[in-house]
Structure 1
Amino acid sequence: MGPWIASIASCEASLRLSAVDPTGKQPCNPIHDVVPCPTFPRGRSGGLMRTGLKSIPLLLLVIPGCSSPLDSPSAGPVLDTHLQGVIDRELSTVNTWQTEIGTEPRSSEVERALSHRLEELEGLTPVPEGSDIDLDLGMDLHGDPQRQIPLVLQDAVSASLLNNLNLQSARLQPAIQREEVIQAEAVFDVVLGAGYTFTKTRTPNQTSSIAALNNITGGSSPVDLNPTATSIRNNDAQVSLSKALTTDGEVSVSHDFQYQDNSSSGFTFSPNPYWQPSLSLDFSQPLLRGFGDKVTLAQVAIARKVEQESIETLRQELIDTVTATETAYWNLAFAWRSLAIQEWLVEASVELRDMIDRRRNFDASLADWAQAVATVEQRASDVINFQQAVKEASDQLKVLMNDPRYPLAGETVLAPIDEMVNTPIEIDFRESLLTAISMRPDVRNSIFQIDIARINELVADNARLPELDFQAQVTTTGMSDEFGQGMDRTYGGDFISYVLGLAFQYPLGNRAAEAGYRQARLERSASMIDYRRAIQATILDVKTNLREVMDNAELISSTRTARLATAESLRALEVERDTLASLTPTFLNLLFSTQAQLATARSNEFQAIVSYNTSVAELYQSMGIILDMHQIGIEMLDEHSSWGSVLEPDSPPTR
Structure 2
Amino acid sequence: MAGNRFFPLVLLAVFAIPGSAGAQQQAVETTSGTQVRGQRLAPERQLTLSLREATEMALKHNINLEISRLSLASASQGVLAASGVFDPFVRVDFSESSSESPATNQLVGAQVNKQDRRTFNLNLGTLLPTGGQATVGWTNTRSKTNSTFFFLNPSYNSGLTFSVSQPLLRSFGTDVNRARIEIARKNRHLSLLDFERLVITTLQQVESAYWNLVYARENLKVKQQSLKLAQDLLEQTRIRVRVGTSAPIDIVQSEATVAAREQDIIIAENAVQAAADNLKILLGFEDPQDFLAEIVPTDSLQAVPEPVDFQKAVQTALERRPELKAKQVQSEIVEQNLLLARSALLPQLDWGVNYGFVGVGGTFTQRDSRTGQIVAVIPGNWDDALKQIRDRDYAQWSTTLTFSYSLGNNQAKAQLAQRRFELAAAQQALAAQRQSVIAEVRAAVRNLEASAKAIAAAVKARELAERNLEAELKKFENGMSTNYQVLKIQEDLAAAQVAELQARVAYRQSMVAYQVAVGTLLDTMGIQLADTVPEPEVHTYWKDVPFLQLSHWTSEER
Aligned 8 A contact 1:241 1:254 in 2 = yes
- 1:373 deviates by 2.0
User: For 2:492, which of 597, 607, 625 is the aligned residue?
Assistant: 597
Structure 1 residues 465 and 7, CA gap change in structure 2 (3 angstroms): closer
Of residues 275, 297, 314, the one that matches 1:393 is 275
Quote the Cα distance in structure 2 between the aligned partners of 1:317 and 1:255.
55
Q: How far does the alpha carbon of each residue in 1:589-625 deviate from its partner, in whole angstroms, 9 at most, with x for none?
A: 2222222211111111110010011111111122233
Q: Do the aligned partners of residues 196 and 636 (structure 1) sit closer, same or farther apart at CA in structure 2, a change above 3 Å counting?
A: farther
Equivalent position of 1:376 in the other structure: 258
Provide the C-alpha distance between the structure 2 equivalents of 1:278 and 1:168, rounded to a whole number of angstroms.
56
Identify the residue that residue 102 of structure 1 maps to in structure 2: none
- State whether residues 150 and 414 of structure 1, in contact with CA within 8 Å, keep that contact through their aligned partners in structure 2: yes
AA matched with 2:320: M
**Helix, strand or coil at the partner of 1:535:** helix
Distance 1:318 1:364 in 2: 62
Question: In 2, distance between residues paired with 1:530 and 1:436?
Answer: 17
Q: 1:161-310 residue pairs with structure 2 within 5 A?
A: 161-208=59-106, 226-264=109-147, 267=148, 269-310=150-191
Task: Report deviation, 1:226.
Answer: 4.9
Change (3 A) 1:151 1:391: same
Q: Deviations over 1:525-574 (max 9, x none)?
A: 11111111101111111111111110000000000001111111122233
Name 2:507's counterpart in structure 1. Answer: 612
- Distance in 2 between residues matched to 1:249 and 1:466, nearest whole Å: 16
2:325 to 429, 433, 444: 444
Q: Superposition pairs for residues 3-42 of structure 1, below 5 Å? A: 7-9=11-13
Aligned CA distance change for structure 1 residues 426 and 253 (closer, same or farther; 3 Å): farther
Counterpart amino acid of residue 371 in structure 1: Q
Task: Give how far 1:173 is off.
Answer: 1.2
Moved over 6 A (4+): 3-6, 636-639
| TM-score (structure 2 length as normaliser) | 0.82
Matched residue pairs, number?
A: 491
Q: Quote the Cα distance in structure 1 between the aligned partners of 2:109 and 2:345.
A: 61
Alpha-carbon shift at residue 158 of structure 1 (Å): 2.2
Percent identity reads: 27
2:411 matches 1:542: no
* Aligned residue in 1 for 2:428: 529
Contact 2:93 2:120 in 1 (8 A): yes
Q: Which amino acid aligns with 2:221?
A: A
Is this contact kept in 2: 1:43–1:423, CA < 8 A?
no
Give the distance between the partners of 1:486 and 1:467, measured in 2 at CA. 38
Q: Aligned letter for 2:469?
A: L
Equivalent position of 1:554 in the other structure: 453
| Paired position in structure 2 for 1:152 | 50
Corresponding residue of 2:548: none
Rounded Cα–Cα distance in structure 2 between residues aligned with 1:173 and 1:426: 39
Aligned 8 A contact 1:207 1:227 in 2: no
What is the root-mean-square deviation of aligned Cα atoms in Å? Answer: 2.6
Greater Cα offset, 502-511 or 285-294: 502-511
Q: Is the 8 A contact 1:44 1:423 kept in 2?
A: no
SS of alignment partner, residue 195 of structure 1? strand
CA contact (8 A) 1:184 1:303 kept: yes
Q: Give the TM-score of the pair, scaled to structure 1.
A: 0.71
Extract unaligned runs of 5+ from structure 1: 11-21, 23-40, 49-145, 210-224, 640-655
SS in 2 for 1:463: helix
Does residue 499 (structure 1) correspond to residue 379 (structure 2)? The answer is no
| Contact 2:277/2:291 (<8 A) preserved | no
Residue 512 (structure 1) shift:
3.0
CA distance in 2: counterparts of 1:330 and 1:259, whole angstroms: 84
The whole-number CA distance in structure 2 between the counterparts of 1:413 and 1:522 is 56
**Structure 2 counterpart of 1:370, one-letter code:** V
Q: Looking at secondary structure, tell me which structure has more helix per residue.
A: 2
Deviations 1:19-75 (A, max 9, x none): xxx9xxxxxxxxxxxxxxxxxx85269x99xxxxxxxxxxxxxxxxxxxxxxxxxxx
Q: CA deviation at 1:304?
A: 0.9
Distance 1:287 1:7, change over 3 A: closer
Letter aligned with residue 472 of structure 2: L
Residues 159 and 565 (structure 1), Cα distance of their counterparts in 2 relative to 1, 3 Å cut: same
Match of 1:126 in 2: none
Change (3 A) 1:229 1:621: same
Q: Deviations over 1:197-227 (max 9, x none)?
A: 1122222222227xxxxxxxxxxxxxxx751
Alpha-carbon distance in structure 2 between the residues aligned to 1:346 and 1:636? 56
- Deviation string for 1:497-548 (max 9, x for gaps)? 2111101112333333333222222211111111111011111111111111
Q: Which residue of 2 aligns with 1:332?
A: 213
Deviations 1:304-339 (A, max 9, x none): 111111111111111111111111111111010110
Check the 8 A contact 2:280/2:291 in 1, yes or no: no
Structure 2: give runs of 5+ residues left out of the alignment.
Answer: 24-43, 362-379, 535-558
Secondary structure of 1:202's match?
Answer: strand
Is the Cα–Cα contact under 8 Å of residues 138 and 158 in structure 2 kept in the other structure?
Answer: yes
CA–CA distance in structure 2, aligned partners of residues 624 and 392 of structure 1: 30
Shift of 1:632: 2.5
- Taking the aligned partners of 1:436 and 1:513, their CA distance within structure 2 comes to 40
Give the direction of change, closer, same or farther, for the CA distance of 1:602–1:625 in structure 2 (3 Å limit): same
Q: Which SS does the other structure have where 1:398 is aligned?
A: helix
CA distance in 2, matches of 1:466, 1:193: 30
Q: Would the aligned equivalents of 1:205 and 1:227 in 2 still touch at CA under 8 Å?
A: yes
Deviation string 1:146-174 (CA, Å, 9 cap, x unpaired) is: 95422211222222223223222112112
